Amino acid sequence: MANRTDPAAKSIHGTNPQNLVEKILRSKIYQNTYWKEQCFGLTAETLVDKAMELDHLGGTYGGSRKPTPFMCLILKMLQIQPDKEIVVEFIKNDEYKYVRVLGAFYMRLTGSVTDVYRYLEPLYNDYRKLRLKLSEGKFCLTHVDEVIDELLTKDYSCDIALPRVQKRWTLEACGLLEPRRSALEDDFEEEEEKEEEEQAMDSVEDDTHEKASIPFIFLCYVNYYRGRSPIRERDRDRRRDRQYRDRDYERDYGRGRERDRDRDRDRDRERDRDKDRDRDRERDRHRLRDDRDYGRERERERDREGRERERRDRERGRRRSRSRSRSRDRRDRDHEDGDHRKRRTRGSVSPRRRPEEDGSTRDEPKKKKEKKEKKSDGTDHPDPEIAEANRLRASLGLKPLK
């Protein structure tokens, strides 16, 4: 209920007045302590007291982007929508400068184009100082005329997007506004009138003293050129030249400031570009160093694997030569003992001889088959590693290795 717009409020720019403040900023204001404690139940009459207590202006500040009391009161004015006469009285208030700025900001958000120029342009003559709270939470010094210029020329102010307004010259061309008249022109005209009166009085006094000795034709000449005195014309030309010169100086000074600002911006951009380039070079240097170290590690790993492979090959060759020497020694021993002949005589049994006569049984062929089966398993391979692998493969039912 406290955050709803007044039912009697009219839509501004075709929308709810509170929608002129962005939703994120509006939600932050609703959650702010100042809004809940100080802005609850305010009316157009009691709002003046809170506006008189303001001591700074600004949008949001800090890491959590807290809204300032100035923004809370702006949203409250959009919520209750005070009358135009009250807002105009805010703008015309000379005693409290923050009340004037509050009314001017509200008029910029809700007023028509003609009202914005009509009520805000006279505030260019207000040079009083203001405290502005920056987004970092610090304060800086500004003036009322600077704030008014920002409201009339910029698209954003105090973290709020301002409604678009037409340029003044387009409104003057359409006849909606009269040409702007500076307040300093009246002062210049008064000074010129005073100087002309003083010069006229001095010329009259001089005429009374010299009238008796001056010929009639010369008096007519003086009376004819009195309204167009060369001295007065020269002074007027000097004043006009001084005004033009001051105006040109201000324009050139503004251009010089813009040029210096552009130069500083280009210098900062070049400095950032150099930093990025140095950072990229350092990154590439580290990447090359890492790649070089990785290549060295890979080479060391390959050398280590090659040495390990050579060592395994040498061990395998030693074991193979050792097994060959063992089998050769066993064969020599068998030859010496005559076992070789016995095996051949046993294997070549005569068919005429009966098994009962030579004392052999019918189990000998079975034993030979068992020996052949054992030899076919590959477990008696001369290489111990291959023999061990064949035992495992035989237990698993696989074919032996040769």
Print burial letters for 117-132: b (CB count within 10 Å at least 16), e (below 16): bebbeebbebeeebeb
pTM: 0.48
| Residue 326 confidence (pLDDT) | 76
CA 122 to chain centre: 38
Rounded Cα–Cα distance for residues 289 and 152 (Å): 58
| Sequence-ordered list of residues with C-beta below 8 angstroms from that of 218, at least 6 positions apart, any chain | none
Rounded Cα–Cα distance for residues 291 and 285 (Å): 10
| Residue 364 confidence (pLDDT) | 53
- Taken in order 7, 58, 152, 20, is the CA torsion positive or negative? negative
| Sequence-ordered list of residues with C-beta below 8 angstroms from that of 260, at least 6 positions apart, any chain | none
Rounded Cα–Cα distance for residues 402 and 390 (Å): 9
Task: Give the burial class of 110: count Cβ atoms within 10 A of its Cβ; 0-12 exposed, 13-18 middle, 19 or more buried.
Answer: buried
What is the amino acid identity at position 59?
A: G
| Sequence-ordered list of residues with C-beta below 8 angstroms from that of 29, at least 6 positions apart, any chain | 21, 35, 67, 71, 72, 75
Render each residue's pLDDT in the chain as its tens digit; 402 residues.
Answer: 477 888 888 888 888 888 899 999 999 999 999 998 888 888 888 899 999 999 999 999 988 899 999 999 999 999 998 989 999 999 998 899 999 999 999 999 998 988 999 899 989 988 999 999 999 999 999 999 999 999 999 988 988 999 988 888 888 888 888 877 776 666 667 777 788 877 777 776 665 555 444 454 444 444 444 444 555 566 667 777 777 666 766 666 666 677 778 888 888 888 888 888 888 888 877 777 777 777 788 888 888 888 888 888 888 888 887 777 777 777 777 666 665 555 555 544 444 544 444 444 455 555 555 555 555 677 777 788 888 888 888 888 777 876
